[in-house]
A and B are shown apart, each in its own frame.
Chain A
């Protein structure tokens, strides 16, 4: 099998702030080994946004927790590969070192701000605490900073709202408060795991605008994890499509949306309903459902559901396809010959999108 990592790490030029190579995360359970992330490679530069898409169980959240050093290492969890934050490997770094970086140089926004904030402390207390972990300042100074932050993320009357408890905030405001906490130390890497999934569309639009503005202000690298292709198209520069813990397709967002070459990406694009298209009578679907990560299909993990597996030859069920460059900066892991993929895209896929 060819080694996909060296090409994979360079979807865009420049020096990446975060570089992940061959990341493998497995969980040892009573039922067997869960291969949650399998040899995943990607990178993000400062000022850029990477969108990671995939369905539940595709390993996207496990990846982000690994980057943040939030998996408890031990007998049951094994992590291999490299996670380089500004050149420093986090996989081999001691836990205390990663803890020092977390919150300061890298921060995370979770999907559900109600369950990720403490219900018995005020929003202000929580931001102050997060800020003072990394900054030796007085409580009063930290409080001033917290007021500034709430104002920055667009919460009206920030000085008064500081003393509210999380339940007194609406869903959108809680998400803003979470973002305020995450950006309190001007992190250079911000990971947002489904940051808008629990929100209404009009609030989602506000939060995405806010993330864009903050990125301009702090020039941070952002990873946004979502299952919504619309959100990725709206906010990301690059896109990584994951399936069963592996990268299927990786490249610039305009390139991938215009000329995706992986049958799974095609399936995702075809099965969504979209407002900017004519109505169809029947939606196209991807047959079957995602595999169990204990029994990942051999070869290409998508092959049992792939419409074009016959054309890809027998290797598709025996050999894992390398994530290889198909055009500059655009990588695809598929056994179909490139010419055939492009023909299918042109003749069978694009007319249905």
Chain B
């Protein structure tokens, strides 16, 4: 197959943006796409290039003030809208070409909804999603179709995301048929190539999903996502349904594919150690908002938001001697309902640092260190792992 090897985009850059990487990875990609101009100006010292700018600063996705409300209707005869779940509320971030953004948060934080808004499985209530220089926030189904080949999803449950009555050949070929793409050598050859690429036996083309284990099914899902040579892959909890020994195999596969094809990932997960392994940048969501966004190392060794501290300190560490020396932060109660989220800072009812200002004024997501944004009135570093 036509393997286009690109440089490992995560390798520490030497100072200059490498415009070649994106171009090699994705053919027919105009390089004059919005480049570094959109990167929020960090108070970076001259000569020290770091973070996103260092990786090329070539944005593939930019999300601005993204909001999704789900109306709640009551009444049996006359259904009236009685309120709205603010599933995603004013979310903004960018993903550079060839990098991985990890999106973490607990259930109800809006991370999956954010993924679905970017892939346009859902239409945003307000705000915008710019993909590859084009605003796709409100495109119609027809307008979206050609774009769908560039954005693909990998789902959590490999049992329910594959049609049991289709052979895996048909499943992997489906995106090609829908997109009316005929690869050189024909669809069949391409499918066999894809199956081989994800570590499956291409001879198993005619088998059905029930003949495969969970890990193998997830590989089928990955092959399907790769069929149209997408630019962005949104992986929503891709390994949480898998066994421990299989998880690592799938993560390595995703990692390898990214390097090989210069893919860009939005990796949605609640497993923080897994997110740390695979992401370049990490966004932490709480009740529909991003509360902290930073490069991986900054987030995991220098988190500033108390909620991030609480999350990190709650991750069980597989070392029985660790809990004697580890600081333990226990949050009160549970995540409030997104139907009626707390005013001002949404975390304040559970926060041990909350002051008057946290109850009256919502903290904006502000850059506190180069490339490190946090939404808190009292950010501070704390060692919790």
Contacts and interface: CB of A to CB of B under 8 A. Distances in A.
Interface of A: 55-56, 156, 170-173, 200-206, 208-209, 227-234, 236, 253-254, 257-258, 267-269, 271-276, 279-280, 282-286, 289-290
10 contacts: A55-B245, A56-B214, A170-B335, A201-B314, A202-B311, A202-B331, A230-B317, A233-B317, A274-B318, A283-B277
B315 A230 contact: yes
Contacts of A205: 313-314, 316, 328, 330
B14 interface: no
Question: Interface of chain B, helix or strand or loop or mixed?
Answer: helix
Contact of B276 (A233, A254, A275): A275
Contact of B273 (A171, A257, A269, A273): A273
Nearest to A55: B243
B243 A290 contact: yes
A308 to B, nearest CB: 16
Interface in B19-57: none
A233 B249 CA distance: 23
A285 B249 CA distance: 6
Interface in B294-348: 300, 310-323, 328, 330-331, 333-335
Contacts, number: 134
Nearest to B271: A273
Given A201-B106, A227-B243, A271-B244, A276 B317 contact: yes
B291 to A, nearest CB: 14
Contacts of B313: 205
Q: Which 8 A-B pairs have the closest CB atoms?
A: A230-B316, A200-B106, A271-B248, A55-B243, A283-B248, A286-B245, A205-B314, A273-B273
Given A271-B244, A272-B244, 19 more contacts: A55-B243, A172-B334, A201-B316, A202-B310, A202-B311, A203-B106, A203-B334, A204-B314, A205-B314, A232-B318, A233-B322, A257-B320, A257-B321, A273-B277, A275-B273, A276-B322, A280-B277, A282-B255, A283-B277
A254 B251 CA distance: 28
A272 B330 contact: no
Interface of B: 106-107, 213-216, 243-249, 251-252, 255, 270-274, 276-277, 300, 310-323, 328, 330-331, 333-335, 385
A276 B319 contact: yes
B318 A257 contact: yes
Contacts of B334: 170, 172-173, 203
B124 to A, nearest CB: 25
A255 B318 CA distance: 13
A200 B251 CA distance: 21
Nearest to A203: B334
A202 B314 CA distance: 5
A206 B330 contact: yes
B91 to A, nearest CB: 19
A234 B323 contact: yes
A282 to B, nearest CB: 6
B285 to A, nearest CB: 12
B15 to A, nearest CB: 22
A254 B320 contact: yes
A116 to B, nearest CB: 19
Contacts of A279: 276-277
A171 B107 contact: yes
A271 B247 contact: yes
A228 B247 CA distance: 12
Contacts of A280: 277
B276 A285 contact: no
Given A200-B107, A201-B272, A233 B315 contact: no
